[in-house]
Every structure is written in structure tokens, then in C-alpha cells.
Chain A
Amino acid sequence: MTTVRTPSPSVLPAHRTDGRNRARSGRRLDRAFSGLTLTAGLTILATLVGVVLATATFAWPAFRAGGIGFFTGTTWSSQTNTFGALPMIYGTVVTAVIAIILAVPASLGVALFLTEVCPRRLRGPIVALIDLLAAIPSVVFGLVGVLAFHNVFQTVFRAITGPKANGSSLLTAGIILAFMIIPIITSIPREGIATVPGHHREASYALGATRWEVLRTAILPAGSGGITGAVMLGLGRALGETIAVALVVGSAIQITPDITQPGTTMAEIIANRFNGEGMGIERNALMGLGVVLFMITIAVNVAARVVVNRAQRRNAGT
């Protein structure tokens, strides 16, 4: 109690200089702290630059040896040292496209369901389940796909397309990828749809719109930017996903229009073949595939982010 009545020390002359000292050391603290956080922030940019430089340098001999043939060649052989990446590029694109075709309607459906149709009591559990789906490691998807569901896939494919279909195929990989990207594609429109058009939605209902009409005319357009961006993010993930695909795609270096046949992807062949020292130039060539994959996914992600950010800014603006 008595301390309350003691005059505040800072008003005494003797303490003024002390205060100034403290101010100086405080400024120093501020500056040191800023520097520390800045360094941390720059680490991320440095890492990205490091990834580009290190992998590209390492892959350079393969690019130089292969030239344009690296991208257009269809044989990949360590015996003859010919490395053509076209089958991998083909497989990567095909599996990713299958995944997108399957995942986009499902994801949008989930997002719309959660905002407009879902009974409130179910909303929390369903969001939790979708998050859980996202949390399953990709190697587990691969394990389940190859050991538990290989025969299921094979039976179904054969029933539909004929006896040649294989349970480990581009289509299998596409289906597994679709499950893996549903949570990604769902999350962004979910945010967008949930935050934007509360009043648009009400205004539509007040004009006598049915639920589907409200979804289609008021909610989907408002979320369209976010949806486009989310689809591209999903595409980026599908292009780069490695382990699950490596287990279920069948690992056959070929270009086949039949998606129920085994194939390969860039990430698949890296994961299954790259075993380090003593590989000769194939090691550089695999690294080269990594660089190509990196560049493609960076391009897709940059584009996706630009779209998403623009959509988010627009939503924040109105």
C-alpha cells in the first residue's frame, strides 16, 4: 500500500539519464529484433533460390547431354545413357488431369454443402473429417491403394474397359490423387463462400429463389476467383505428388492412350530409381526431371496464388 504513495522514480532527475540510457538500449533491442525477424523472413526466399540453383546446377550435365531430346525423347535407359522425359511428362499430366476432373465437382459439392445444405450439427464433424483426410500421409494412401485395393481397381476397370486393364495404372493414380486433393480444393472456396456474400444470399432468398438457385446465382459467382485458384493449387499438388503415385501407377515407362495401363510420372521415377552415388549420369537426369517438375509446379502455384489473392482482395473490398 505504501508503495503507491512513493513518487514515481522516473520523475526524479537522477533517473532521467537512466531513462535515456534505457531508451538507447531499447532502440538497440528494437533494431536487433527487427534484424532477427528480417533474417528469418529472408531465409524462406534464400531457400527457394537455393533450391533452384542447387538442383539446376546438379542437373546441368544431363540437360547439356540431352539437349531438347531430354524433353521430347521417349526412351529412358541407363544402359545407353539416353534420357527422354516425355513418358514421365505425359504420365504426370494425365494423372493430374484425371485427378482434377474427379476432384473438382466433389470438392465444390462439399464446399457448397457445408455452406448451405449442411445441418449445423453436422458441419463441425464433416469439416473435421475432411481435415483428417488431408492429414493422412500420402504413403499411406499409396500403401492402401497398392496392397488393399489393387484387385478392386483391377476388377472394376476390367468390368468397364476389358480384360487388359491393370489395377496399377494411370487411372488408379488419378483416382488416389483426387482423394488427396479434395481437402485442398475444398478449403479455399469454403473460406471464400463463407465470408463473402451473406447479404447476397439473403437478398436472393428474399426474391423467392430456391436453395440451388441461391447457390448457383449468388454464391458460386462470388466464390469463382477462389474456386479457380483452389483448383490450380490442387493441380499443383497433383502434379507434384510423389509417393502415393509411385506405389500405384505401375512404373512403366511408356506413353499409352489407355489410362487403365501402367505408366509413370516424373515424381514416380525419381522416387523409385534415384538411389544416389554410383548411378552415373542417370542421377543428373533424374535431378533434371526434378527441376522440370519444380518449374512446372512453381508456374502453376504462382498463377494459382495470383488468382486466389486477387479473389481474396476483391472479397475483402466489397
Chain B
Amino acid sequence: MTLNGLSVFYGENLAVRDVSFGVAANRITAIIGPSGCGKSTVLRSLNRMNDLIDGCRVIGDVAYRGIDIYAPDVEAVEVRRRIGMVFQRPTPFPKSIYQNVVYGLKLAGIHDARDDRVEHALRQAALWDEVSGRLDSSALGLSGGQQQRLCIARALAVEPDVLLMDEPCSALDPIATARIEDLMAELSERLTIVIVTHNLAQAARASHDTAFLTTEVDDHGNRTGVLVEVAPTDRLFAHPIDERTEQYITGRFG
């Protein structure tokens, strides 16, 4: 995926200005930066979730496999089918585990091999062994980490090409976090992952490439997110080019 001159407005407010970078296929790209720098805004513009926010305008283009997803002949629903998303807090529906995973298949009208697909998705999300005996119990009875993996399984069931993760571990304990990171590494063999995280260690550990955003404040006190630097994770953490990146990763601000 390629972001080219992406700016996002909320009403009159410019939330993110002129962000351009590429997301390589089958790699994990982390977006890092201080709170309020527009990390999530950038992420949500990659599968048009921003369409759902009133007064949100996107300028510039986001190309996915060479096609601008904001082009008039592209429907948001088609984009989201291929570019799945996992949210900050686990968002299981108040239904059974099985019904949660099968939800996307139902929407897509896929009837064949549903059970196999559900099992496959749960296995991919490393959840199968824990829930295989109780697929009909409520998803709300799972632990936070399990719920989040269920949401990943739910997203994987429709076999997306890209998975967007918006601070997927911020509500989880370290053990659950480690499992999700392992999972991401495994999944990246088959799909592209973009993850927003406020946890620098996580970005360093779990991603291949890292984009660093920061906040600029103009004369009127308006805060706007801008891209500072994007590079392979090893390089960015070892030899940051921009001074602001260095300051941020060494903990001197943000």
C-alpha cells in the first residue's frame, strides 16, 4: 500500500498533514508517535473507516495494489473486505464464539465449509486449542487476550489481504501481548500487517518497518500530525536520521 500526500481533516481541523509512505506486502509496519499525533487517524484512513466519522475529509491518495481506495468507483465495503481491522479494545459481539467468527462469512454469503473456515481462522489466531470445546459459549466470557485473538480470528475468517491493528495490545497484560506479537509474526507470512502502537518496545520487537509521526502545533494552538521518518525498524531504532525521532525513541519527549 502506498500513502501519497495523505491529509485528514476533522471538520475544520487538520488532524494529519501530508503523510506519504509505503507499506510493503507481507511485512509488519508499525506506526509510532506521541499521543494525539494522528497514528490511528492514518490507520483508519487505510480501510476507509474514517468515512464513518461525520465531518471527516481525506485528501491525497491511498493506493492499495496500485488502486486509489478513495477513487469514486471504489466502494468502502469492498475495501474493508480486503483490508481488515482489529481495534484497541477487544470488540466481540455479544454472541457465541462461533457466531462471532462466522459473522463475516455470513455477510459475504459464504456457505461452504463454514465450520472448517471457523476452525482455520481460530487456529490461525492461536485460539483454537483454548476454545474448541466451547464454541457455543458467549464470547464475552473469554479473557481480554482471548477476546482480542477472537477478534483477529473474526477478521481472518474472511481472508483479508491486509490487517490493520489499532493498538491491539494496549488493553492486555504482557503475556497476552506476547502471544499476539507471536501471532503477528506468523500471520505476516501470509498477509500484510499495519500496527499502531504507543509501545516503542513492541514496535522494535514485532515490526519490520516503522513510521514515526509527531505533532506540530501551529500559532493558533491547532495540533496536526506529520510524518517524520519511515525506515526499516532496525535502522530507525539504531540510527534515526531525524533529531525528533532520536529524541522520541530515547525517551526525551512524547
Contacts and interface: CB of A to CB of B under 8 A. Distances in A.
Indicate whether A and B are direct neighbours in the complex (CB within 8 Å). yes
Contacts of A120: 54-55
7 contacts: A202-B91, A203-B154, A204-B103, A206-B87, A207-B84, A210-B107, A218-B93
B98 to A, nearest CB: 15
Interface string A229-243: 000000000000000
Contacts of B87: 199, 202-203, 206
A207 B52 contact: no
B49 A202 contact: yes
A203 B80 contact: no
B51 to A, nearest CB: 8
Given A119-B54, A208-B104, A318-B140, 6 more contacts: A199-B89, A203-B154, A206-B84, A208-B80, A210-B77, A318-B94
Interface string B36-53: 000000000001010010
A117 B142 CA distance: 33
Nearest to A199: B91
Given A120-B54, A199-B91, A218-B93, A206 B49 contact: yes
A264 to B, nearest CB: 46
Contacts of A213: 107
B158 interface: yes
A119 B55 CA distance: 9
B108 interface: yes
A201 B158 CA distance: 17
Interface string B107-128: 1100000000000000000000
B135 to A, nearest CB: 18
B80 A206 contact: yes
Contacts of A16: none
Contact of B93 (A200, A205, A206, A210): A200
B49 A217 contact: no
B155 interface: yes
Most chain B beta carbons < 10 A, residue from A119, A200, A209, A210 = A209
Interface of A: 119-120, 199-210, 213, 217-218, 221-222, 318
The residue in A208, A210, A221 that gathers the most chain B C-beta atoms within 10 A of its C-beta is A208
A199 B54 CA distance: 16
A156 B166 CA distance: 57
Contacts of B47: 206
A112 B54 CA distance: 16
Nearest to B79: A208
A203 B91 contact: yes
Contacts of B76: 205
B103 A217 contact: yes
A207 B94 contact: no
Interface string B139-166: 0100000000001001100100000000
Nearest to A217: B103
A90 to B, nearest CB: 41
A207 B104 CA distance: 6
A208 B77 contact: yes
A218 B100 CA distance: 11
3 smallest CB-CB distances across A and B, nearest first, come from A208-B81, A120-B54, A206-B85
